[in-house]
Structure 1
Amino acid sequence: MPNNKFRKKKNNVQLKNRGGNLHDSSKTAVILLAPGLIIMSFVILYPLLRAFILSFYNRELTKPNQNSFVLFENFQRLLHDDTFWTTVKNTFTFTLTTVFISVIIALVIAIALDQLPKKFSGLRGLILIPWVIPGIVVGFLFLYMFDYDVGIINFFLQRLGVIEEYVPWLMDGNLAMIAIIVAHVWNQIPFHTLMIAAGLKTVPRDLQEAAFAEGANRWQEFWHVTLPNIKGILVISSLLMLIRNFNNFPIIFTMTGGGPGESTLTSVLHIYKLAFEKFQLSYASAVGMIWVVVLLVMSIVYIRLLQKEY
């Protein structure tokens, strides 16, 4: 009995010490993180709050004396703004198409890489090259590739007999959208490939072997075994890239600048042009707030899916 009492007292002392250590560690973590959190709050929250307040005024840089409170007039204006709705259509068309094509191609590449012998594992590093190239460089690269006179795209398509004459890719509205989608697909495939390749490593090999033992072919095994096990990876990587593409700026700005006309004008380019070319700061802030809400909803969905078990 005395030994049991001694053990209980010893355990209580150890628990108290652990609690004290955890409390001290938490305080230390807060102290160390505080400067960074304060700086990040200022960098992120202040511009967001400033834009929110500005959206209720009629501030324009070309009219310095005009700065009256107009409440919801800017938001009412965008409801009747044809350019705004064009950017909505362009943004969703560009984003959804890019992500869908990127995921499909990356899935094929990831499965192919997964089948390669270990001696070819270095190929995985080469696949990442397009992902690490800065967006502005990718934009200039594809700008010259799709050039009407000297572009390599026209050269090869003509040699292959696909086209008879050179095509003005970046001077035609529909073709310009295709061009920027191709550029972004090339740039984003490595991200999806890396994510899917990691997911393929988690697929239980015994389930795959059991499927083949039961007479399933390669396609049936993929559809009923592999795909369900990587579904979570596909959903998360796709949604993360959807959020990123809504804010994608450098490649489109470099290749087309939103043109010709408004055929490739996306939301982020529209806000940029309103604020820094037309100097309509308040209206640009109102448009930006709409897209902040859209991205916030998508971010909440993303976080919920991260917590979901597949």
Structure 2
Amino acid sequence: MVDKELELGKRGIIPRLPLPFLLVFPSLLVLGLVILYPLLSSSILSLFHYELTKPNEITFNLLGNYNQMIKDSTFWLAFKNTIIFTVSSVVISLAIGLIVAIALDQLPDRLASLRGVVLVPWIIPGVIVGFLFMLIFDVEVGIANVILYQIGVLKKFLPWLMDEQLAMVAVIVANIWNQVPFYILMFTAGLKAIPIDVKEAAIVEGATRWQEFVYVTLPYLRGIMVITSLLMVIRNFNNFPIIYTMTGGGPVFSTTTLVIYIYRLAFEQFNIGYASAVGIVWCLVLLLLSSIYVKMLYKQI
């Protein structure tokens, strides 16, 4: 039977598929089922008024959900919260990660094990991080209040997770703690790639530590900064477990990001049509960020 199929393939009766395509096809099939099908389904549902509690009242409204989105103040608040959460997390994490990576690069070999310790927060699941910082920022027994009160920064314990302004600060701090090790890892690798003779030449020319950092270290790390930042922007745009575990998007909507808002629309209000429309807009923003990431990556290559 196998010999007959090979013979038919040689005669051109059965098309011969290239080996790379055959190897990649299973992965493409899985991606199609996991990503493409839900994306197409959401695109179609976004054109309908569809509530799970009213399955017999599905109506086609074309761009009605998108028109509603433009007038939806909660959507724009969620979009603003997403930008604040993402930009703050990325900028602060990048700065801390760079400083810690440079400090670790100066450590003697006998203390090299500390580099592994600082990476621990990166491997902790987001849900665990959320529960951990929910306890840290607890109004009564949270260690954040205790420490700040003891050193005189606070005159009374603050309700971090119940205050509309402080809640966003708390979730950003938790997120920064979780993702700083990623920057440390990337920057440490970048620092090791800087040629020693370039540093030595700068020292011979009389450059100070600051001048060496600005004119030697930063130029070599610029590519890593761009790539890692874009990657973390995409990740933070999708960040669900930390925020939902700590605040559930509250109080009110003060920490509701787009991903939290979509979850509330779909699984709390059961408004599948409108949730799909918001999801499509969210997906388009991520697609734009991903395209920028790919272009930057190719430039570095």
Common fold by TM > 0.5: yes
Give runs of aligned pairs for residues 94-243 of structure 1, distance below 5 A: 94-243=85-234
Using the TM superposition, give the Cα deviation of residue 216 of structure 1 relative to its aligned residue in structure 2, in angstroms. 1.1
Task: Determine which of 23, 28, 49 is the counterpart of 1:37.
Answer: 28
1:21-60 C-alpha deviation (Å, 9 max, x unpaired): xxxxx83332233223212211111001100000000010
1:179-238 C-alpha deviation (Å, 9 max, x unpaired): 000000000000011011111111121111111111111011100111001100011001
Matched, 1:294 2:285: yes
Distance in 2, Cα, partners of 1:204 & 1:38: 44
Distance in 2, Cα, partners of 1:309 & 1:63: 52
Residue 7 (structure 2) aligns with:
none
Percent same amino acid at aligned positions? Answer: 55
Give runs of aligned pairs for residues 11-26 of structure 1, distance below 5 A: none
Residue 264 (structure 1) aligns with:
255
Matched, 1:88 2:49: no
Task: Determine which of 288, 299, 305 is the counterpart of 2:296.
Answer: 305
1:238-268 C-alpha deviation (Å, 9 max, x unpaired): 1100000000000000000010011100000
Which sections of structure 2, spanning at least 5 residues, go unmatched? 1-16
Distance in 2, Cα, partners of 1:258 & 1:300: 29
Task: Determine which of 50, 57, 66 is the counterpart of 2:48.
Answer: 57
Matched, 1:78 2:69: yes
User: Which secondary structure state, in structure 1, belongs to the residue aligned with residue 96 of structure 2?
Assistant: helix
Aligned length: 285
- Higher mean alpha-carbon deviation, 64-73 vs 78-87, is at 64-73
User: Which secondary structure state, in structure 1, belongs to the residue aligned with residue 60 of structure 2?
Assistant: coil
- Higher mean alpha-carbon deviation, 204-213 vs 188-197, is at 204-213
What amino acid does structure 2 have at the position aligned with 1:52?
Answer: S
What amino acid does structure 1 have at the position aligned with 2:166?
Answer: L
CA RMSD of aligned residues (A): 1.1
Distance in 1, Cα, partners of 2:245 & 2:64: 33
- Higher mean alpha-carbon deviation, 94-103 vs 114-123, is at 114-123
Residue 6 (structure 1) aligns with:
none
Task: Determine which of 219, 243, 251 is the counterpart of 2:242.
Answer: 251
Distance in 2, Cα, partners of 1:256 & 1:68: 34
What amino acid does structure 1 have at the position aligned with 2:200?
Answer: E
Distance in 1, Cα, partners of 2:177 & 2:23: 40
- Higher mean alpha-carbon deviation, 200-209 vs 99-108, is at 200-209
1:121-155 C-alpha deviation (Å, 9 max, x unpaired): 21111111000001000000000000001101101
Distance in 1, Cα, partners of 2:253 & 2:167: 11
Distance in 2, Cα, partners of 1:288 & 1:192: 29
Using the TM superposition, give the Cα deviation of residue 301 of structure 1 relative to its aligned residue in structure 2, in angstroms. 0.4
What TM-score does the superposition give when structure 2 sets the normalisation length?
Answer: 0.93
What amino acid does structure 1 have at the position aligned with 2:33?
Answer: F
Distance in 1, Cα, partners of 2:163 & 2:39: 36
What amino acid does structure 2 have at the position aligned with 1:122?
Answer: S
What amino acid does structure 2 have at the position aligned with 1:104?
Answer: A
1:262-292 C-alpha deviation (Å, 9 max, x unpaired): 1100000000000000000000000010011
What amino acid does structure 2 have at the position aligned with 1:160?
Answer: I
User: Which secondary structure state, in structure 1, belongs to the residue aligned with residue 152 of structure 2?
Assistant: coil
